[in-house]
């Protein structure tokens, strides 16, 4: 029964599912045996990997590899590089090539569907073996200049001390000066409060002339006694 399932997992949508699972860090045994995933034995998956390159390639797309590919692609845009584009056209396959592909498919289909009738095999072969193929007709190589935006992004994040916007640098410097100034003000205020609490620095306010005269006489007597 597992053999009949391989074709399902060769479909583009299902290959993408396998690739997504691998990229998200799901292990191969889990991908194989989980009922919400491939729901096959791990030994079957290993057999399919050896037999079907598309499944093997999908499983190799793990997270680390994808991250590395993205980083490499991003880095390449910052350098001058060439871009190659190829135009194809559809042509009918060579008669003998087509015959060989059909025979190969029929043999595999018989193995996976031992009870299939001859008509079923012929229909399946017609549906799965293409009569036409793509052949390249025009190849174009274009030189691409470095991506300035990518270079700016890279430098700002790799060397923020040098390449970060000067606006942010000036703002940080202004905030630092403000913090120092506030600290100095707080220190002066504290010193003023300490001086105010010192009795020697007290100021006496007198609004009565007689009391002022009395206070002056007392001070004079004190000075005389000190002189004696």
Same domain, 193 and 161: yes
Asked whether 144 and 82 are in contact (CB, 8 A), the reply is: yes
Which has the minimum average pLDDT: 7-16, 114-123, 184-193?
184-193
Domain of 25? 4-78
Range 16-45 average pLDDT: 89
Same domain, 64 and 9: yes
Does some domain include residue 8? yes
Does some domain include residue 99? yes
Last residue of a domain, one of 49, 78, 107: 78
Does some domain include residue 226? no
Range 5-23 average pLDDT: 88
Residue 211 CB-density burial (10 A; 0-12 exposed, 13-18 middle, 19+ buried): exposed
Does some domain include residue 205? no
The single residue listed with the structure tokens 């190799």 is: 60
Same domain, 65 and 15: yes
Same domain, 136 and 172: no
Same domain, 70 and 118: no
**How would you classify the pairing of strands 132-144 and 81-92?**
antiparallel
Last residue of a domain, one of 106, 125, 143: 143
The single residue listed with the structure tokens 């073996």 is: 129
CA separation for the pair 165, 108 (Å, rounded):
63
Same domain, 16 and 69: yes
Same domain, 125 and 91: yes
Give me the number of domains the chain comprises: 3
Does some domain include residue 97? yes
In the chain, what are the helix, strand and coil shares in percent, each to the nearest 5? 70, 10, 20
Range 155-165 average pLDDT: 73
- Which residue, 1, 32, 4, is CA-closest to 18? 32
Asked whether 129 and 105 are in contact (CB, 8 A), the reply is: yes
Q: Inform me whether the pLDDT recorded for 165 exceeds 70.
A: no
- Report the length, in residues, of the chain: 228
Same domain, 138 and 181: no
Same domain, 91 and 123: yes
Same domain, 71 and 86: no
In whole numbers, what is the pLDDT of the chain averaged over residues?
Answer: 80
CA separation for the pair 108, 134 (Å, rounded):
24
Same domain, 116 and 180: no
Tokens standing for residue 86: 């190829």
Range 198-209 average pLDDT: 54
Q: Where are the alpha helices (DSSP H) in 34-147?
A: 42-51, 53-59, 63-77, 95-112, 118-128
Phi, psi (5° rounding) for residue 88? -120, 160
Same domain, 45 and 9: yes
78-131 confidence digits (pLDDT tens): 888 888 999 999 999 999 999 999 999 999 998 888 899 999 999 999 988 999
Asked whether 122 and 102 are in contact (CB, 8 A), the reply is: no
Tokens standing for residue 31: 């991908």
């Amino acid at each position: 029964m597992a053999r009949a399932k391989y074709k399902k997992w060769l479909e583009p949508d299902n290959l993408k599912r396998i690739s997504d699972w691998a990229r998200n860090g799901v292990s191969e045994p889990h991908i194989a045996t989980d009922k919400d995933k491939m729901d096959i034995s791990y030994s079957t998956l290993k057999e399919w990997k050896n037999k079907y390159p598309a499944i093997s390639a999908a499983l190799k797309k793990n997270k680390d590899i994808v991250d590395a590919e993205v980083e490499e692609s991003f880095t390449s845009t910052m350098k001058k590089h060439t871009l190659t584009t190829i135009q194809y056209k559809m042509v009918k396959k060579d008669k003998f090539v087509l015959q060989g592909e059909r025979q190969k498919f029929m043999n595999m289909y018989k193995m996976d569907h031992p009870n299939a009738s001859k008509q079923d095999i012929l229909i399946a072969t017609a549906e799965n073996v293409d009569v036409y193929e793509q052949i390249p007709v025009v190849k174009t190589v274009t030189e691409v200049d470095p991506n300035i935006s990518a270079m700016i992004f890279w430098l700002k994040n790799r060397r923020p001390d040098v390449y970060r916007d000067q606006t942010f640098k000036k703002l940080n410097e202004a905030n630092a000066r403000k913090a120092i100034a506030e600290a100095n003000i707080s220190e002066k205020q504290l010193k003023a409060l300490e001086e105010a609490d010192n009795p020697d620095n007290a100021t006496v306010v007198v609004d009565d002339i007689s009391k002022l005269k009395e206070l002056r006489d007392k001070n004079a007597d004190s000075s005389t006694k000190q002189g004696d």
